[in-house]
């Protein structure tokens, strides 16, 4: 992968700008999801574009393919039959099972936009970043804690 989406959870303010940007661009499809750790934090869930993608392996019609040069895992809207196999296969739960337009909602890292994914561009607090492997090494992702409670951001 040339660049990837990196999350600094300490900065996430839970506004879901990332999902809104995605839905606005893709006709209501939320290709990025969020996990809600109730009372603790929101966790934006973007596709990892795995080296050995289970969504690709599970697709019965080969609608999901992987670009050999970039590693990007993409879904063809014309081939997808909306069987949800990919949604159930994904170990990270980033593909939403309730379908919009009867096809699976698969992140393409906004391949149509040369500046990178819209979710990263929109992120209001700077929690989502679009970084290369070298840039990732220079960052101390996950090392800071914003609140004084070490493990629980949102006190119930």
Partner 1 sequence: MKNIDPKAVVVKRALCPFCSFGCEFGVIFNDFGVAGVEYIKDGSSGGRLCPRGSAAAMYLDHPRRLSTPMKNSKAIEWSRMAKELRKVIGNPKNVAVTFDRNVTLEEYASIIGFCKKNGIDDISSTYFEPEAYLKPFLDKPFATKELDKAQLVLILGDPFNHAPMSSQSIIDWKLSNKKNNLLVIDSINTHTAGFADTFLRVAVGTEPLLLFGLAQEKIDGVDIAKATGIDAEVIADVSKAIKAAEGGLIFACLSFGHTYDARLLVEGLMRLRKFSGMRVVPFVEFTGYGGSRNFATILEKVKKKKIKNLINFGELFPFYYPQLNAELKGSNIYATSTFKYTGDIVLPVPFNLEKKGTVITTFGKKELNAGIEPPSGAKSISEILNMLDEGPGKGEVMIPPEGKMNITESARKLVQMSLPKKKGYRLIGEKIAYSFLGFFESEALKVNPRDAAELGLKENDLASVTSKHGSVDFPVRLTTDVDKGIVAVSAETPDVKGLFEYEINTDSNIVNFIPTEVKICRKE
The pattern of x and - marking residues 59 through 98 that bind partner 1 according to CB under 8 A reads: ----------------------------------------
What is the footprint of partner 1 within residues 101-140 (CB under 8 A)? Answer: 115, 118, 121-126
Beta bridge pairs of residue 34? 44
Give the C-alpha separation, 120 to 109, whole Å.
Answer: 10
Which of 19, 94 has the CB closer to partner 1? 19
Name the minimum Å distance from CB 104 to partner 1. Answer: 19
CB 127 within 8 A of CB 142: no
Instruction: Enter the DSSP assignment of 47.
Output: -
Give the C-alpha separation, 109 to 46, whole Å.
Answer: 9
Q: Which of 4, 23, 49, 75 binds partner 1 (CB under 8 A)?
A: 23
Give the C-alpha separation, 17 to 40, whole Å.
Answer: 19
Which residue ranges make up the site for partner 1 (CB under 8 A)? 10-11, 13-17, 19-21, 23-25, 30, 38-39, 41-42, 115, 118, 121-126, 144, 146-148, 153-156
């Amino acid at each position: 992968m040339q660049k990837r989406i990196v999350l600094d959870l300490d900065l996430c303010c839970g506004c879901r700008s990332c999902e809104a940007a995605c839905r606005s661009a893709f006709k209501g499809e939320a290709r990025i999801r969020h996990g809600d750790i109730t009372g603790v934090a929101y966790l934006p869930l973007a596709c990892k574009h795995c080296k050995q993608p289970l969504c690709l392996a599970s697709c019965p019609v080969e609608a999901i393919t992987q670009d050999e040069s970039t590693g990007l895992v993409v879904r063809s809207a014309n081939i997808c039959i909306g069987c949800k196999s990919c949604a159930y296969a994904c170990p990270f739960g980033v593909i939403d099972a309730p379908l919009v337009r009867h096809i699976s909602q698969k992140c393409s890292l906004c391949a149509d936009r040369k500046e990178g994914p819209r979710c990263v561009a929109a992120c209001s607090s700077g929690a989502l970043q679009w970084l290369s492997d070298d840039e990732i090494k220079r960052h101390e992702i996950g090392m800071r804690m914003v609140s004084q409670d070490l493990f629980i951001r949102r006190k119930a």
